[in-house]
Amino acid sequence: MAIGTKEKASARRRGKPIEVWVTDEEKVAITEKADEAGMSRSGYLRALGINTPLRSVVDLKAVSDLAKVNGDLGRVAGLLKLWLEEKRGQGAPAMDVDALMREFRRCQGEVRALMSKVVYEKK
């Protein structure tokens, strides 16, 4: 089973329990952090205890959203370029169109770099 996913009720039972005494506030905080990682409290504490890297479900959702934005940015750039090239010389100089396309590609590169940083970052 991958770290960062909820354990199913029918999962293999681990051998020995470890008691951890916490306050009500600490229990709430641990529960919230386990939910963010998409794990049970037990799985979350086990992963922390053996120093397993955790990946936040929230981070992966953000990467998915960024990928959609990056695709939209590419489509907008393509449509804009097509429209401006059909009207060559009427709407904007060719140099301005080329500069705009380079800026779109630069923005897309930045978005991809941010997505990679989130997905492949070592914690």
Q: What is the pLDDT of residue 52?
A: 81
**From first to last of its 123 residues, what are the pLDDT tens digits of the chain?**
445 555 455 566 667 888 889 999 999 999 998 888 888 898 889 888 888 877 666 677 777 888 888 888 888 888 877 777 776 666 667 777 778 888 888 888 888 888 787 777 654
Q: Give the three-class secondary structure for 91.
A: coil
Q: What is the pTM of this model?
A: 0.45
Backbone angles phi, psi at 32, to 5 degrees: -65, -45
Residue pointed to by tokens 């010389």: 89
CA distance 48 to 42: 10
Residue 55's CB is within 10 A of a number of other CB atoms, namely 19
Q: What is the pLDDT of residue 116?
A: 81
Backbone angles phi, psi at 102, to 5 degrees: -65, -40
